[in-house]
Amino acid sequence: MNGETNVTQLTAPGRGAVAVTRVNITGQETCDRFDSCFRAANGMLPSQAAVGRILYGMWDGEDVVVVRVSDNDWEVHCHGGDAAVERISRQLTSTDRPSDPVLTEYPDKATEGRLERAILEQLLKCRTRSTASFLLAQYNGVLRRYLTTLSIQEDADETAALLHNCLRWRAFATHLMTPWRVAVIGQPNAGKSSLLNAIIGYERSIVFDQPGTTRDLVEVEVILGGWPFLLVDTAGIRQETSNDIETVGVESARNCVANCDACLLVVDSQNGWTDADAELLGAVPSACPTAILWNKTDLSRDNPAPSPEMAAATRIVETSAIDGAGIEDVVNWLPAAVVPATPEATEALPVVELLAAQLTAFMDNPSGVSLQEILDEWL
Ligand SMILES: Nc1nc2c(ncn2[C@@H]2O[C@H](COP(=O)(O)OP(=O)(O)OP(=O)(O)O)[C@@H](O)[C@H]2O)c(=O)[nH]1
Ligand SMILES: [Mg+2]
């Protein structure tokens, strides 16, 4: 063969979330082979990508990301596991004629329109494999087929049913790109920051044995069960404080509760359930899944009995930020609480915000908005 290809695995051998392979190529023929193995979503050939360019696409039916790191070097990021790396290496270094690239995964550029470009923009915001796979299905034709079906539907009831089926996933679709927001609230010193650190596994938020330590919102992104979450540690909420900074912190904590997708209410089990806790629980929007974290259970076990008011919470978990008790339960509860159901891969999802807003406006007022005009814009 004209040229040479050297393939080196950069990540440790064995199973992992992601494997990275460095590919060094000299010679046109070997470059052609690379180009034929990888199919970028935007149609660009890896050999023509500028240094630093990141390409998202398919390699033999698998999602991969290719980054050109120098004139002759590329990195291929694929799913972890030896088999995926071996396949990439074998296909690049084989002397057989390269097989035809997988062309069916992406629409031809000629048919790629505004809709696909808009979905692709959203796809790039996805942080996890599970969220990206939903976007990829929409990109590969699910949403276009759905809109086409809508455009030829003449029965008003059928149209309404089709719209309902798609738009009921609006919150789910939004959170494929934007993390679910989880407020960690509670009275000062209850252990909110300690529990947040225990959940994420490192010291993100300052812990101190004096109440009023956390003042501003402390946000941290974390993936739980394949879904993106933004955990927000808040200032301990207490009624009377003469400290201005703390007052501002308490105000932002209250706003955070009003705008969250799930809530973790941390209670110091040594103090038991108080009126202040009941008030906090009452401030959480009723549709918002809430877990009470009955914290510091590593200390005295003869804690005051949980109050009946606590039953208003979706879940009560006994925790200790010190010995880790209950942390796994919290980590398992959050994804199950905010994503109780997932759509089939073949279902249309309103992943493009503008389109979702237009379809919702039509559904709310069918005589005031032209559905055909909306669909013509996107098809
Ligand atoms: N024994 C025990 N101590 C804990 C636990 N969780 C937190 N603490 C301690 O309680 C104190 C307060 O913890 P923080 O995590 O700062 O509490 P906070 O709720 O964030 O406090 P503010 O930010 O002031 O509202 C610290 O001394 C922690 O070490 C726990 O589960 N068990
Ligand atoms: Mg704190």
pLDDT tens sequence across 264-315? 999 999 999 988 888 889 889 988 999 999 999 999 766 666 677 777 778 9
How far away, in angstroms, is 377 Cα from ligand 1 center? 54
Q: Read off the CATH number of the domain in which 275 is found.
A: 3.40.50.300
Per-residue pLDDT band for 12 (boundaries 50, 70, 90) equals confident
Q: Which ligand is nearest to the CA of 191?
A: 1
Residues 143 and 51 in one domain: no
- Closest ligand by atom to 266 CA: 1
Work out the average pLDDT over 230-236. 88
Averaged over 321-349, what is the pLDDT? 94
What confidence category does residue 244 fall into, taking pLDDT thresholds of 50, 70 and 90? low
Residue 9 pLDDT: 84
Whether residues 235 and 203 fall in one domain: yes
> Going by CA atoms, what residue is nearest to atom 9 of ligand 1?
191
Under 8 Å between Cβ of 76 and 21: yes
* Three-state secondary structure call for residue 228: strand
Dihedral (CA of 266, 241, 235, 334) sign: positive
Q: Which atom of ligand 1 is nearest to the CA of 208?
A: 16
> Hey, whose CA ends up nearest to atom 1 of ligand 1?
296
- Pick the range with the lowest mean pLDDT from 198-212, 332-346, 348-362: 198-212
- pLDDT for the residue numbered 109: 42
In a domain, 175, yes or no: no
CA angle 230, 286, 324 (to 5 degrees): 45
| pTM of the predicted structure, to 2 decimals | 0.69
Atom index in ligand 1 nearest the CA of residue 187 equals 25
Q: Both 278 and 252 in a single domain?
A: yes
Rounded to an integer, the average pLDDT of 57-67 is: 87
Q: Are residues 288 and 157 in the same domain?
A: no
- For residues 246 and 316, membership in a common domain is answered with yes
Q: Ligand 1, atom 14: nearest CA belongs to which residue?
A: 191
Q: How far apart are CA 280 and CA 160, in angstroms?
A: 40
Q: Which domain holds residue 142?
A: 109-169+350-378
- Write the pLDDT tens digit of every residue in 77-122: 988 777 888 888 888 887 655 444 333 344 444 456 899 999 999 9
Residues with CB under 6 A from ligand 1: 186, 188-194, 207-209, 211-214, 235-236, 295-296, 298-299, 320-322
Do 34 and 130 lie in one domain? The reply is no
Are 210 and 161 spatial neighbours (Cβ–Cβ below 8 Å)?
Answer: no
Ligand number, closest to the Cα atom of 237: 1
- For residue 344, is it within any domain? no
Nearest residue to 349 via CA among 156, 152, 109, 126 = 126
Tally of CB atoms within 10 A around 154: 6
The pLDDT assigned to 101 comes to: 37
Q: How far is the CA of 320 from the centre of ligand 1 (A)?
A: 10
Q: What whole-number distance in Å separates Cα of residue 138 and Cα of residue 151? A: 17
Which position has the token pair 């010190």?
322
User: How far does the centroid of ligand 2 lie from the alpha carbon of residue 277, in Å?
Assistant: 16
State whether 357 and 333 are in the same domain: no
Indicate which residue's Cα is closest to atom 26 of ligand 1: 209
Q: What are the strands of the beta sheet with 227-233, ordered from one edge?
A: 218-224, 227-233, 180-186, 262-268, 290-295, 315-318
**CATH number of the CATH domain containing 60:** 3.30.1360.120
Considering the domain architecture, whether residues 219 and 332 belong to the same structural domain is answered as: yes
Q: How far apart are CA 10 and CA 95, in angstroms?
A: 24
156 and 302 together in one domain:
no
Out of 189, 295, 318, mutate this one to test ligand 1's pocket (max ligand atoms within 8 Å of CB): namely 189
User: Is there a domain that residue 210 lies in?
Assistant: yes
Q: Domain boundary at 61, 93, 125, which?
A: 93
How far away, in angstroms, is 293 Cα from ligand 2 center? Answer: 15
Q: Which atom of ligand 1 lies at the shortest distance from residue 233's CA?
A: 20
98 part of a folded domain: no
Examine residue 104 and state whether it is found in any structural domain, yes or no. Answer: no
Q: What is the Å distance from ligand 1's center to 193 Cα?
A: 7
Distance 247 CA to ligand 2 centre (A): 14
45-66 residues labelled b (16+ CB within 10 A) or e (exposed): ebbebeeeeebbbbbbeebbbb
Measured in angstroms, how far is the CA atom of residue 208 from the centroid of ligand 1? 7
Residues 130-189 have pLDDT tens digits of 899 999 999 999 999 999 999 998 899 999 999 999 999 999 999 999 999 999 999 999
Ligand nearest to the CA of 210: 1
What's the alpha-carbon Rg for the chain, to the nearest Å?
26
Number of domains present in the structure of the chain: 3
Structural domain contains residue 261: yes
Judged by its nearest atom, the ligand closest to the C-alpha of residue 211 is 1
